[in-house]
Structure 1
Amino acid sequence: MWVLTIFLIMAAIILLCIADFHFGRRYFVRNAYRRDYQKRHSDMELISTGPAFFERMFSDIKNASSSINCLFYIVENDHLGRQFFDLLIQKAKEGVEVRLLMDRIGSFKIRSKQVKELQECGIQVFFAEKPKLPFLFFSTQQRNHRKITVIDGKIGYLGGYNVGKAYIDEEPKLSPWRDYHMRIAGEGTADLQKEFCIDWKRASGEEILNKPSYFPELEKGAVEHRFFPSEGFKIESQFVSFITNARKSIFIGTPYFIPSKEVMDALEKALKRGIKVTIVTPERPDHPLVKEAAFKFFRRLIPLGADIYHYQNGFYHSKLIILDDEFCDLGTANFDLRSFYVNLELNNFTYTQSFVDEVRKEVQKDIEGSTLVDLEKINSVSIFTRVKEGIASMISILL
């Protein structure tokens, strides 16, 4: 009897979580703030190693004169996280206006004592996407996955790096960490600032879009680009459009390859019409089940001619699409259901050939540091791996 009772309780909990997630997402999408940005022209610098990223960003923060706005999905409570906090404290003491936004679950290691210390030094700190009623389970799953920094309203950063020692190659199991970030200077920075202000209001309730100092006059730069925010919708249909309109080639770099049915159908159709499809994912995963979750898709794509690689030289965290060698999408969204349907993401579409060529050179290094996935090998995996695949398939939207 007690076994049946436990089973019924567990079944009820699962059903409640499913209902909570379903209705919570519907409510959020129905009430989400929709916006679209125009094409802008900015000077853009590609950064592809953690040490180079933090050296560049920390230097810009040190030179800030009026404001620093930072949003990170993860800030770790380690020496790099504390160095980041110390730098923000130093600037706040100099009279610079500093705002820091961190995802509540992604940055769960940051203690209230540290937040209080930051606030006492003049930094305004809030956590984004706190779990809340009435859709408690959905709110624990929806994450603000963006990584935005804007300095003096003039210099912006966007990409895949969070703040922690793993991102500067000090986590042995995942080192070196391969990722992409952009430093942006020029008129597009105003749109990046607007995105921060929107997320700040969502977390704090404070309206800061009307601050003139956040939006100085900006000059045009050399690279044509457009920011693309997504909040549990839009990015899936945009990816389908990318794939459908490709004429020659599609490159996808992602740490998690878990496409939706619509995206997968588009990829298969692209291969059947002769489009070259290349995908790079990591050999070493950073989360359980995500590697196995991709196998069922690989088994469908490889026979159609897709070249799928496992990156060997550390952990691969790129969020990158290149179309026809003349357009690239680089930002925070992974190629998975969580980014398509749940998370808050921000991508940057780039149209200028010189920048795309720079990205392509880095991508070639990624491919050279990878090995082709063997179809026969993933067709003959162990029963244990098959079980992991099955579990991953059932909970794929939560991976």
Structure 2
Amino acid sequence: MVWILGLYLLNTVFMLIIAVREVRRPAKALNWLTIGLILPVIGFGLYLSTSNPVRIRRERLTSPHNESDTLPVSFSRSASVIAHALRHLTVHGLRPVRVQILTNGIETYENLIKSIQNAQRTIDLEYYIYRDDQIGRRITDLLIERAKAGVRIRFLRDGWGSRKFPQHQIIRMMNAGIECRTFFPMRFPWVLSNWNYRNHCKNVVIDGKEAFTGGINVGDEYTGLKPNVGFWHDTHLRMVGEATVDLQTVFDAHWNIASPERMKTRIRWNTKAEDTKKPIQGPRHISQNIVPPGRDVLSKWSAKWSTELGTMDGTDVSTVTSTETLQKAYVQTLEGNPGIPTQVIRQAYFICLTQATQTIDITTPYFVPDADIIMAIKTAIARGVRVRLLVPRHVSPKIVGSASRTYYGELLEAGVQIYLYNKGMLHAKLMIIDGEIAEVGAANYDMRSFRLDYEVCEVFYSADVARELTEQFERDLTDSVPLHIEDLRQRSLSQRILDQGARLLSPLL
């Protein structure tokens, strides 16, 4: 009995520590206190390992010269108010840009490979997930070829998302002259302090004048040609112009806090000669190079997915690269940084939601927001704003989908239109406001993107960009089913209990 009393007192002290540390975030404190009651002592250990303040601290990426940045008078009042409100959160203020919207992996990789092939001076890449599969190896080989041609290349991967990227590929890249670093690697001392803070960005900057960013990592699944994954819908961006300097600034900041790759030996691979005598082929179509494992699988799946990806936008896949369209816009670049008190991404979302006057369309694969974001959405409905939320019908991991369902009821009752994407994997992250403002990036509507991850998102001011994204949103609705309040009420008691239990873990999701 004595040890039980001791455990109770110890756990009480631990819960008091949580309550004091999270006094400014009562919802998060309540969640962790509940976890501490269910898992005495263990819950406090989880709290420390996931909520320990990031040790790498730096200033927020902002410019002192952005206060006077204003949109032309031709823009609506909501656009002007949002641009003005976001000015202190941006990397370098408001910039003109030309942007191409990329709505699937094949289109993204073809443009990326073409741009890498044309690089003359520098290539900087940072990815949360960079796989050593057919797409990954093709890009890796191309990077090695460009490095041997004299292009300076810096390669930054996240220590968790890209933990399976093999060391022998890193050695190949470094032997070719590519500088490689890992963001918070899963080794001492990072694993003891910063393991829960991840670099969720997917950014490439080429020659300081062209950049790619958005939701697409490097992996076969993003092409929609991987059989055990199936169709994959995402949104990525290709930007040209001075706005790429902002993404360069973000990359440099992340590069400076990342760890250089360590090699036990400087191996000179026998296959190095093969690398030089087998150059990367020209702009063959990506779908001709991605071959699902096994000939029987290839014959079954390649035609199906080539057709789906080709007809996705009403065009044939063979014409994707020849029909690129660069839209003119103004853009603000935002970086989410857990090393500073301001939750930049969350605050930006809140500003956009509260200043919308006509319409809000949101696409996100993970919807586990906090109370303020929910209130901002409900308040928008009360002002007469039409709000549509598009989320995947099947969420992976399932625990996130369970937690998400607990938010749908009150939103439906408030008047939000919720649609469940039913065609395949939905991974796009975007928000369109009043037909003139569009936010696209890597950040989700969840606590992790708001508080724990290094993120990047772009806020565009352009009726053309908003129109193109809205047209894609409308096409996505044809592949979705509306969610009704009756659908939630028909769920069994056990399912609802599991959903509520998953919501308790929202600080970790």
CA RMSD of aligned residues (A): 2.5
Secondary structure of 2:368's counterpart equals coil
Map of 1:269-288 to 2, 5 A cutoff? 269-288=379-398
Give CA deviations for 1:114-157 in whole Å, capped at 9, x if unaligned. Answer: 21121112111111122477785662221100111011111110
In the other structure, the counterpart of 1:323 is: 433
1:11 paired to 2:40: yes
In 2, Cα distance between the equivalents of 1:366 and 1:333? 20
In 1, Cα distance between the equivalents of 2:162 and 2:260? 20
Of 209, 216, 228, the match for 1:154 = 209
Q: Which amino acid aligns with 1:282?
A: P
1:202 paired to 2:257: yes
In 2, Cα distance between the equivalents of 1:114 and 1:290? 33
In 2, Cα distance between the equivalents of 1:228 and 1:389? 32
In 2, Cα distance between the equivalents of 1:261 and 1:138? 28
Of 345, 348, 359, the match for 2:458 = 348
In 1, Cα distance between the equivalents of 2:416 and 2:125? 39
1:77 paired to 2:106: no
> CA 1:84–1:205 in 2, change beyond 3 Å: closer, same or farther?
closer
In the other structure, the counterpart of 1:186 is: 241
In the other structure, the counterpart of 1:63 is: 118
Map of 1:360-375 to 2, 5 A cutoff? 360-375=470-485
Of 271, 292, 301, the match for 2:411 = 301
Q: Which amino acid aligns with 2:105?
A: G
In 2, Cα distance between the equivalents of 1:136 and 1:120? 28
Secondary structure of 1:39's counterpart equals strand
In the other structure, the counterpart of 2:368 is: 258
Q: Which amino acid aligns with 1:354?
A: D
1:91 paired to 2:91: no
Secondary structure of 1:359's counterpart equals helix
In the other structure, the counterpart of 2:335 is: 229
- Alpha-carbon deviation of 1:339? 0.4
CA contact (8 A) 1:17 1:137 kept: no
In the other structure, the counterpart of 2:195 is: 140
Of 119, 122, 127, the match for 2:182 = 127
In 1, Cα distance between the equivalents of 2:115 and 2:190? 40
Give CA deviations for 1:65-110 in whole Å, capped at 9, x if unaligned. Answer: 1111111110112111111111111111111111110111000111
In 1, Cα distance between the equivalents of 2:376 and 2:180? 42
In 2, Cα distance between the equivalents of 1:182 and 1:360? 15
> CA 1:304–1:137 in 2, change beyond 3 Å: closer, same or farther?
farther
1:358 paired to 2:413: no
Of 322, 330, 350, the match for 1:240 = 350
CA contact (8 A) 2:337 2:344 kept: yes
In the other structure, the counterpart of 1:165 is: 220
TM (normalized to structure 2)?
A: 0.71
In 1, Cα distance between the equivalents of 2:129 and 2:111? 19
In the other structure, the counterpart of 2:321 is: none
1:393 paired to 2:448: no
In the other structure, the counterpart of 1:310 is: 420
Secondary structure of 1:381's counterpart equals coil
In the other structure, the counterpart of 1:24 is: 53
In the other structure, the counterpart of 1:210 is: none
Q: Which amino acid aligns with 2:399?
A: L
Of 146, 164, 172, the match for 1:117 = 172
Give CA deviations for 1:349-388 in whole Å, capped at 9, x if unaligned. Answer: 1001111111111111111211101221222213442243
In the other structure, the counterpart of 1:379 is: 489
In the other structure, the counterpart of 2:399 is: 289
Q: Which amino acid aligns with 2:506?
A: S
Is the radius of gyration larger for structure 1 or structure 2?
A: 2
CA contact (8 A) 1:24 1:135 kept: no
Secondary structure of 1:297's counterpart equals helix
- Alpha-carbon deviation of 1:278? 0.2
In 1, Cα distance between the equivalents of 2:206 and 2:463? 27
CA contact (8 A) 1:130 1:139 kept: no
- Alpha-carbon deviation of 1:173? 4.8
CA contact (8 A) 2:185 2:259 kept: no
Identity across aligned pairs (percent)? 30
CA contact (8 A) 1:129 1:203 kept: yes
Q: Which moved more, 1:282-291 or 1:161-170?
A: 282-291
Q: Which amino acid aligns with 1:269?
A: T
- Alpha-carbon deviation of 1:340? 0.7
TM (normalized to structure 1)?
A: 0.89
In 2, Cα distance between the equivalents of 1:324 and 1:174? 34
Q: Which amino acid aligns with 2:416?
A: A
- Alpha-carbon deviation of 1:288? 2.4
CA contact (8 A) 2:49 2:196 kept: no
In 1, Cα distance between the equivalents of 2:228 and 2:497? 24
CA contact (8 A) 1:32 1:231 kept: no
> CA 1:226–1:195 in 2, change beyond 3 Å: closer, same or farther?
same
Q: Which amino acid aligns with 2:252?
A: C
In 2, Cα distance between the equivalents of 1:381 and 1:143? 35
